[in-house]
Amino acid sequence: MANIYKILQELPNLSFEEIFLLQEKVTKEADFRSKELLKDVENTILACPQCGSKDFIKWCKYKETQRFKCKDCNSTFLPTTGSSVHWLKKPKLFLRFCVSMFSGNVCSLKTQSKEFGISPSTAFEWRHKALIALGQESPIFQGVTEMDDIWFRYSQKGRKGLKYSRKRGRSSHKGDNDFVSKVLMSKERGGELDISLIKIGRLDKSSIEQRLSGKFADTSVLVSDKHPSILSFAKSENLKHETFKSEQHGKKDIHVQTVNNLAASFKADVNHVLRGVSTKYLQNYANWFGVKEKYKGLKDKVKTIIKDCFSNNKAWDMFMNTELLYKDFILKKSKRTYRCPTVRYRKHQNWNFENAKRGTYI
């Protein structure tokens, strides 16, 4: 980063011709690196996005991009088929958008729309096309792993047609109740991190099992408070489990301070920078926070994140079916009533819902 600051300091001293020469060189280098990134994505193709078969061959090219053909279903596909850039009219601008999003701090849609000359609605869609692709299966925890739940108020921010509106300020529903969204954070000290929206309402054993069952190695040690659901989960998984009372956080190495520090940063982004987010999109922002923490300190952090994003061939299906996935979550994981579905029609929704469910990890 020191080199870029030196270049920026010299910009006022450059002549008119030098500025345009620099712009030309930077544009060519950006195009070259974009093509290299897509080649890396091409090398990560593991299966046909339509049927999941691993039996496919190269099949001509489309605009200098290698196309493939599945031997089982005979469908042809590109490396980006089903990914976040599928059917995008401005993929290069979207790539710049992703670089800006993952290299800096969380910012508002209004700021992003002004920076890239797009409408706020386009910025919103691009943001969630990228974030929904970053969802991953829970990793395997090997060492001492802290676990705690983070509470967010159930929110229907942005949903049109509701007969009531939530006023600013605290909710009238106090304590743990059916209006609280539970995000489970599990962090291995010096290792893996998992952040998942698992339920709306009181935390239970089955919700934890659905996400983390079989994800702890024999060498792992689970550390948490004395929440009954976590106690029951640890017992069913035969885990070595260290607990403490809520008022005894500083008891030697038996604490969840690592998780608490991460939770404070995550809640600050959601509640203060973004002014609250809809429960419908809360998992997407958890994905965003999770990958930034996962690759923190990595030299090519942004490139690695974008590569993960573009390599997910279920992203298109998940994005097209966001509303149906949210409805499924509300009906199965809460006591809330599903109200006022979005009226926007999407051409590819409904028919690929099962494919979208296979790609999501909620």
Tell me the CATH number at 262: 3.30.420.10
Strand partners, 196: 184
pLDDT at 79: 81
Mean pLDDT of 249-267: 85
What is the arithmetic mean of pLDDT over 290-311? 87
Q: What's the rounded mean pLDDT across residues 174-181? A: 86
C-alpha 320/C-alpha 353 separation (Å) is: 9
Question: Would you call 180 helix, strand, or coil by DSSP?
Answer: strand
H or E stretch covering 261: helix 257-268
Judge residue 252's burial from the number of C-beta atoms within 10 Å of its C-beta, 0-12 exposed, 13-18 middle, 19 or more buried: exposed
The three-class DSSP label of residue 183 is strand
Whether residue 120 lies inside any domain: the answer is no
- pLDDT class of 194 with cuts at 50, 70, 90: very high
Residue with the larger pLDDT of the pair 135 and 185: 185
What is the pLDDT, as a whole number, of residue 303?
86
- The yes-or-no verdict on residue 277 having pLDDT over 50 is yes
Does residue 180 lie within any of the structural domains? yes
Secondary element (H or E) of residue 240 = strand 240-244
Would the pLDDT of 168 be above 60?
Answer: no
- Region 311-317: mean pLDDT is 85
Higher pLDDT, 251 or 325: 325
Domain count for the chain, please give it.
1
Give a yes or no: residue 12 inside a domain.
no
pLDDT of res. 45: 72
Which has more pLDDT, 350 or 181? Answer: 181
Any domain includes 62:
no
In this predicted structure, which of 45-54, 138-147, 260-269 has the lowest mean pLDDT? Answer: 45-54
User: In terms of Cα–Cα distance, which of 35, 4, 8 is closest to 310?
Assistant: 35
Do the domain assignments include residue 102?
no
Residue 66 confidence (pLDDT): 82
At 345 the pLDDT is 60
Residue 230: the pLDDT is 94
Determine, yes or no, domain membership for 77. no
Tell me what pLDDT residue 171 has. Answer: 60
The β-bridge partners of 153 are 180
Residue with more model confidence, 20 or 174? 20
Cβ atoms of 35 and 20 closer than 8 Å: no
Question: Are 222 and 240 within 8 A, CB to CB?
Answer: yes
- Domain containing 223 equals 144-159+176-359
Q: Give the pLDDT score at 361.
A: 55
In a domain, 118, yes or no: no
Q: Please report the pLDDT score of residue 142 as a whole number.
A: 93
For residue 288, the model assigns a pLDDT of 93
**For residue 98, which of 139, 144, 38 has the smallest C-alpha distance?**
38
pTM summary value: 0.87
Question: What Å distances lie between residue 167 and 157, 170, 172, CA to CA?
Answer: 11, 8, 10
pLDDT at 231: 94
Give the total residue count for the chain: 362
Whether 170 maps to a domain, the answer reads no
